[in-house]
Every structure is written in structure tokens, then in C-alpha cells.
Amino acid sequence: MRGQHKAKVEAMALDLALLRSVQHFAEAFKAKNVPLHVLVCNAAAFALPWTLTKDGLETTFQVNHLGHFYLVQLLQDVLCRSAPARVIVVSSESHRFTDINDSLGKLDFSRLSPSKNDYWAMLAYNRSKLCNVLFSNELHRRLSPRGVTSNAVHPGNMMYSNIHRSWWVYTLLFTLARPFTKSMNVGLNDSDLELRRERTDVACGRHVQWPAVSLILKN
């Protein structure tokens, strides 16, 4: 935006914890009749105590994965009409430290939106981030022939943002780690790099770790 002084910026409300809100957002966006070239699915909840959303699903799962998934489904036709277009799903390296399959290797739906007794906040976050990667890869497979690419990215480890706000222990850990981790400014610049990199279509359909620690990762 810095280089585009004449850019018009408009904010619209969206609550990813409410499917109706996602639907309203998509309808309001479509009513504007503007193209959609870049969609960044960045929002996340982390370390939440167990709660159900109004839709009856575990909140971390709905905010981090399902809300974004639904949003992209609703805006898919706009993305395709706007091709070349790209979706960037902000995931995390922590997607590696979990599984959503049962012992027979089949998708275990109860792990996606677990009951209170089966809930562990960190695991719920990791699973939602794994869903992000799987979703991005499948989206890329389906839409890239129509000019819409998708990448899942890892922005950096323990970057000091607001993500720790649900529990003071995480606030303490993020504060202690802060001198040794990337700042949000670097993360933001890296995200811009990622957008530009995608323009050259070299890293599509994969999970990418943004530079300073630049790696291209496969799930």
C-alpha cells in the first residue's frame, strides 16, 4: 500500500466464529462487484479455553480453519473471474506436530471439533493449522487450472503479536522469546515478498516458510 498512495482502503466486519457472518461478508463483498486478486486467510485464535461457537463447533477449529474454508468457498467464483488470483493461507510449522487421522489412517472428525474432555488448546491449534495446509494444497490442485493459486505459509516462530493474549503463561513465553525472534515488521515485509514470489508462480501449492529463514516445505 505504501507505494500505492492512491489506493482506496475499506474495512469490512467479519467474524470467522460465526458462519452467518462469513456469509454476510461474502454477500457484501460480492455486491461491490470488484475483482479479488489476493485473499489472505490470516486470522487465528490460539490457546483458547474450550468453547463452542454459536454454530456448535469448537472455536479454534471454526475460526482458524472452517471460517476461512467457508469464506473461500463463497468467494471462489469471484476469485476465478478475477484470475490471475491467489489465496495465501497463513498456517504454522506447528501443523507438523499433530494428526487428524485415526489409528486406521482415516480422517477422525471428532479430532477436528473435540468435546471438552478431549480438548487440549495447543493440539487444537496445531490441528487447525494442519487443516490450513491441507486446505491450501487441495484448493491449489482444484483451482490452479483456472488461474487461482494457493499457498500455505509459515510466518516465523513465536513472533510477538497478540496471539498469546488468551493466557498469561504464553504472554510470558512470547515476551521472553521476543529478542530472539522476527519482529512483526519483518513478518509483514516477508509476507509482501511472498505475494511477489507468487506473482512469479514459483512456489504454488506448497507450504512456504517466509524468509529470514527461507525454506520451501512440503507437507
Ligand X SMILES: NC(=O)c1ccc[n+]([C@@H]2O[C@H](COP(=O)([O-])OP(=O)(O)OC[C@H]3O[C@@H](n4cnc5c(N)ncnc54)[C@H](OP(=O)(O)O)[C@@H]3O)[C@@H](O)[C@H]2O)c1
**Residues annotated as part of the active site:** 125
**Sign of the CA dihedral running 196, 218, 77, 62:** negative
Contact between 159 and ligand X per CB under 6 A: yes
Q: Tell me which of 29, 108, 122, 161 binds ligand X, using CB under 6 A.
A: 161
State phi, psi for 44 to the nearest 5 degrees: -160, 155
Which listed residue (82, 92, 126, 209) binds ligand X by CB under 6 A? 92
Q: According to DSSP H, which parts of 50-120 are helical?
A: 59-61, 67-81, 109-112
Phi, psi of 25 (to 5 degrees): -60, -50
- The reply on whether position 175 binds ligand X by CB under 6 A is no
14 touches ligand X (CB under 6 A) = yes
Minimum distance from residue 209 beta carbon to ligand X (Å): 10
> Which region, judged by CB under 6 A, interacts with ligand X, from 15-23, 139-147, 189-197, 198-206?
15-23
Does residue 63 touch ligand X according to CB under 6 A? yes
Among the listed residues 74, 122, 123, 163, the single contact to ligand X using CB under 6 A: 163
Angle (nearest 5°) at CA 197 between 192 and 198: 100
Q: Per rule CB under 6 A, is residue 134 in the interface with ligand X?
A: no
Rg (CA), the chain: 17
Task: Give the strands of the sheet with 38-41, arranged side by side.
Answer: 38-41, 85-90, 148-154, 207-209, 215-217
Closer to ligand X at the Cβ: 144 or 157?
157
Contact between 44 and ligand X per CB under 6 A: yes
- Establish if 45 lies at the interface with ligand X (CB under 6 A): yes
